[in-house]
Structure 1
Amino acid sequence: MAWLQALVAPIITLHQQWYNKRLDNLYKLAHNGQVCHLRAALNDTFDPDQRRIKIANGNKYQRRYIYTSGEQKQKYLGINYLMQVGDYADTGIDFRVVVPQDFDLVNNIYQLKAMIDFYKLAGKRYNIEKE
């Protein structure tokens, strides 16, 4: 009996690995780049208990030019950074991933980026922020 178990043990191990990989692939197929599915996949992986990771719209501020009311012309004042470059509508980000304050970004940043890149649509830009 022990001899048969020794022969079957590698097959059982391979079957278990195949089954786990199959479940992982089915999970990946069930999720996509939609906000609800991306948020669910991120929360399932990184915050399964409290589910505090959120997906928010990107900041889409219009550029503002400074001029006097009498001139009614745009006046160049040099380079003034009032907001980050990604906050403007023409060069901005498409969505923001907001993680909780106690989230360990240092150790999980690459895994988080890889998961977002896997699910997001091509050409969409994002930013990861703490709450």
Structure 2
Amino acid sequence: MWYKVDFNRLAVLMLPTFLRKPLLVAYLQSLLVPIDSLYYKWSIFRNDNLYKVQHTGQICYLRKVLNDKLDVSRRRIYIGDGNRHKRQYLYTKGENRPRYLGTMFLWQNSDYADTGVDFIVYAPQEIINTSPYELKALIEFYKAGGKRYKIEVI
């Protein structure tokens, strides 16, 4: 490929054959160390960008990215649907609605359908404790715009 360059080999090949002595080759290779380190940084940057382009905000890709970065060996991070609980209202006498409440549960505000989250990221406690900012940054980078999420412990 055009981006795979061995600068040490290129320097030796560009040198005339009668000047290819070990001392001169070593001198040229020492001059190429800054260019080689810059090329190495560029290739790492390129591979990171290709990885980012290949993964989207879909649940399967988001789960793969989180597990690749944070839980490589055990791959325990997974993503579930957001809670979609309906709200139960208490009616007044003037509304002429039944007053029987039945069984009611108390939910957080993010657990309801109209103001709730779109997906929940389940992660182990040790990952949440050791790298919470990296976890949030990865989710924020890959999630689709306007989607809301919540992180919970497994």
* Distance in 2 of aligned mates of 1:99 and 1:24: 24
Question: Is 1:115 paired with 2:147?
Answer: no
Deviation at 1:6, TM superposition (A): 1.9
TM-score, L = length of structure 1: 0.86
TM-score, L = length of structure 2: 0.73
Q: Within 5 A, what are the aligned runs for 1:19-98?
A: 19-66=43-90, 73=97, 82-98=106-122
Distance 1:28 1:74, change over 3 A: farther
Deviations 1:78-110 (Å, cap 9, x if unpaired)?
Answer: xx9811000000100000000024x23233111
* Distance in 2 of aligned mates of 1:121 and 1:130: 22
* Distance in 2 of aligned mates of 1:93 and 1:111: 20
> Which of 29, 33, 38 pairs up with 1:9?
33
Residue ranges of structure 1 left out of the alignment (5+ in a row) = none
Hey, which bits of structure 1, 4+ residues long, moved more than 3 A? none
Count of residue correspondences: 124
Query: Which one-letter code corresponds to 1:106 in the other structure?
Result: N
Seq. identity, % = 50
Residue ranges of structure 2 left out of the alignment (5+ in a row) = 1-22
Deviations 1:40-66 (Å, cap 9, x if unpaired)?
Answer: 000000011111100100001000135
Bigger fraction of residues in helix: 2
CA RMSD across the alignment: 2.2
Higher relative contact order (CA 8 A, sep 6+): 1
1:66·1:74 contact (CA, 8 Å) conserved in 2? no
* Distance in 1 of aligned mates of 2:146 and 2:128: 24
